[in-house]
């Protein structure tokens, strides 16, 4: 019995090494695999072709290499009844927390404005407001959103979180559901999106959302490109309703060279690098989960495919 690994080519060796270190007895086959389908017990994958996992009749679990599982949920031919497990591992969480703090501080400290002043050699202080009076709003209070919320709050910011269902978290104001969205947005000077991409959250960052924010609010978009209605974001940036944005994810990736985001003076653009699964820590998490299953315990972090996360 073996694990089938489908990752990007550059990281294949690191994953092989990490999985071997985490469980030297586990056989790992690289994708594509032409051997006996019955040998494959687990799949650890990113973006498998539609229907490609169906032929493994003895598959016991599908592990997503990324935190998001939209690459799997969007496959209508995913094998029935096989649990799908989202990636939860400390490296991925820490990386996202870093990126969110960086994005929040960049806008809080007016770094886009100071960069513009630097280009024109202007030495001028912009009155700084205290973190306690800067309201950060985090959409999504899953593993990534909760950790980011805690760490941003630890820096003294006034942090609120919004999620589909009610959640409570010490030190964080929480809002939920359709009814909670507008009051949440109205108090968010810096909006961070860490939602999963689902049918419900597709296009959630749209003109109505932006209009509900305080004028000049900043956006840190690190969930999925599908959350953003890009034309609406451009209009909000051009009108000044959105004062600045850190954009890491896009509808089409790589972002086409003709996209107006590249040269927008109020946009900081990164190529989907906010956080990456780290093979070493991730392999340990996957192997621990497999051991749980073998010991007859329930798998951790199994996704509800209908809900989409």
Contact 266, 112 (CB under 8 A): yes
Helix or strand (DSSP H, E) at 14: helix 12-22
Binding span for its own copies by CB under 8 A among 24-32, 118-126, 180-188, 196-204? 118-126
Closer residue to its own copies in complex, CB, 170/254: 254
Give the shortest CB-206-to-its own copies separation in angstroms: 24
Which 3 state secondary structure label does DSSP give 3? strand
Q: Which two tokens stand for residue 123?
A: 């030495």
Residue 18 backbone zone (phi > 0: left; psi -120 to 50: alpha; other: beta): alpha
Q: Hey, which residues between 87 and 116 contact its own copies (CB under 8 A)?
A: 91, 94-95, 97-99, 101-102, 105-106, 108-109, 111, 114-115
Does residue 224 have an active-site annotation?
yes
Give the shortest CB-176-to-its own copies separation in angstroms: 29
Binding mask 256-285 for its own copies (x = CB under 8 A): -x----xx----xxxxxx--x-x-------
Instruction: Compute the Cα dihedral for 253, 258, 260, 265 and give only its sign.
Output: positive
- Cα–Cα distances (Å) from 93 to 144, 197, 200, in that order, read 6, 17, 24
Of the candidates 1, 28, 32, 3, which has an alpha carbon nearest to the alpha carbon of residue 16? Answer: 28
Does residue 272 have an active-site annotation?
yes
Q: Hey, which residues between 227 and 256 contact its own copies (CB under 8 A)?
A: 253-255
As a whole number of angstroms, the distance between CA 229 and CA 202 comes to: 9
Give the shortest CB-102-to-its own copies separation in angstroms: 4
Q: Which residues bind its own copies (CB under 8 A)?
A: 91, 94-95, 97-99, 101-102, 105-106, 108-109, 111, 114-115, 117-118, 121, 123-126, 128, 130-131, 151, 154-156, 253-255, 257, 262-263, 268-273, 276, 278
Residues forming the active site: 224, 272
């Amino acid at each position: 019995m073996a694990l089938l690994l489908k990752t990007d080519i550059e990281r294949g060796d690191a994953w092989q090494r990490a999985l071997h270190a985490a469980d030297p007895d586990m056989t790992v086959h690289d994708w594509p695999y032409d051997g006996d389908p019955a040998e494959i017990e687990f799949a650890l994958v990113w973006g498998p072709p539609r229907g490609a996992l169906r032929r493994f009749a003895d598959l016991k679990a599908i592990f997503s290499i990324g935190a998001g599982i939209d690459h799997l949920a969007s496959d209508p031919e995913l094998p029935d009844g096989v649990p799908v497990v989202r990636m939860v591992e400390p490296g991925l969480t820490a990386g996202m927390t870093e990126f969110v703090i960086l994005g929040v501080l960049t806008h809080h400290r007016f770094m886009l404005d100071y960069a513009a002043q630097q280009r024109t050699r202007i030495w001028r202080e912009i009155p700084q407001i205290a973190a306690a009076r800067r309201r950060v709003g985090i959409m999504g209070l899953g593993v990534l959103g909760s950790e980011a919320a805690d760490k941003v709050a630890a820096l003294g910011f006034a942090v609120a979180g919004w999620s589909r269902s009610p959640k409570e978290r010490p030190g964080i104001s929480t809002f939920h559901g359709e009814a909670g969205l507008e009051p949440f947005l109205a108090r968010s000077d810096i909006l961070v999106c860490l939602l999963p991409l689902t049918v419900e959250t597709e296009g959630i960052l749209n003109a109505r959302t932006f209009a509900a924010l305080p004028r000049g609010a900043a956006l840190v978009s690190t969930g999925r490109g599908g959350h953003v209605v890009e034309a609406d974001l451009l209009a909000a940036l051009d009108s000044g309703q959105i004062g600045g944005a850190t954009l890491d994810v896009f509808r089409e990736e790589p972002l086409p060279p003709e996209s107006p985001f590249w040269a927008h003076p109020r946009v900081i653009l990164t190529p989907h690098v906010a956080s990456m699964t780290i093979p070493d820590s991730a392999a340990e998490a996957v192997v621990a989960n497999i051991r749980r299953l073998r010991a007859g315990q329930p798998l951790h972090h199994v996704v509800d495919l209908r809900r989409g996360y």
